[in-house]
Amino acid sequence: MAQFVADNLAVRFGEGVQRVSDDFGDLTVWVDRSIVHDVLAHCKRDPELRFDFCMDVTAVDYLGLGGNPRFAVVYHLYSLSTGKRVRIKSGVPESDPVVASATDVWKSTDWFEREVYDMFGIRFEGHPNMKRILCHQDFVGHALRKDYPADLRWKNPRPDDLVDEISPQEMERMQARVRKGLSD
């Protein structure tokens, strides 16, 4: 269906593309962890592919399913101009759960990557604010890992400080706006 996508990536990255499957029209491309960022940037900027919309970033824990490596990060991409979709997958070992952040390619991956970190403990290198997004900051462990007990809870003693959710640049802009409003 979208064979040209797989061909394009195979030509550009060669051995880096590990596996391609096209089940029921859902194209999935497994790539090496070291080139995930390059593949994503290529998918967005290549004039033939133009995957300008990163719909979701998530992860899978293959514990008990014989997965090697244990985790996989999954990027769901969509092209608004060609209407094509592709799923980029990459294996992540438990011993070194780190992937390059795609926040410089799509800004929207910021919160997706934080969610993956919160739920699976996979860190994204180069992310501007790599911290938990759903669970509170006193939470221990990562809830969607298969070896996490389903009902193990951690008490939250204090409300989260939401001010550090705002980037320093945005904070500066807001303060400038307030100062301007006061002077007017």
Partner 1 sequence: MSPRKTAAQIADQRRVIEPPPTQVGEARGVFSTQLEKMVAWARSGSLWPLPFGTACCAIEFMSVVSSHYDLARFGAEVVRFSPRQSDMLIVAGTVVDKQAPILKLIYEQMCEPKWVISMGVCASSGGFYRAYHVMQGIDEVVPVDVYVPGCPPTPEGLIYAILKLQEKIERGEPSRYQEILLEHRAAEPERHVLAET
Binding site for partner 1 (CB under 8 A): 134-136, 139, 143, 148-160
Task: Assess contact for 114 and 133: CB atoms under 8 A.
Answer: yes
Cβ proximity to partner 1: between 89 and 142 the closer is 142
CA–CA separation, 5 and 48 (whole Å): 8
Q: Which is nearer to partner 1, 19 or 155 (CB)?
A: 155
Region for 69 from its dihedrals, namely left if φ exceeds 0, alpha if ψ lies in -120 to 50, beta otherwise? beta
Q: Which of 25, 71, 77, 33 is nearest to 56 (CA)?
A: 77
158-174 burial by CB neighbour count: b if 16+ within 10 A, else e?
A: eeeeeeeeeeeeeeeee
Amino acid in position 2: A
Tell me how far, at minimum, the Cβ of 42 lies from partner 1, in Å.
37
Which lies closer to partner 1 via its Cβ, residue 14 or residue 159?
159
- Nearer to partner 1 by Cβ, of 61 and 75: the residue is 61
Shortest Å distance, C-beta 120 to partner 1: 13
Q: Which residues contact 122 (CB under 8 A, 6 or more apart)?
A: 59, 71, 73, 92, 97, 98, 99, 116
Nearer to partner 1, 4 or 154 (CB): 154
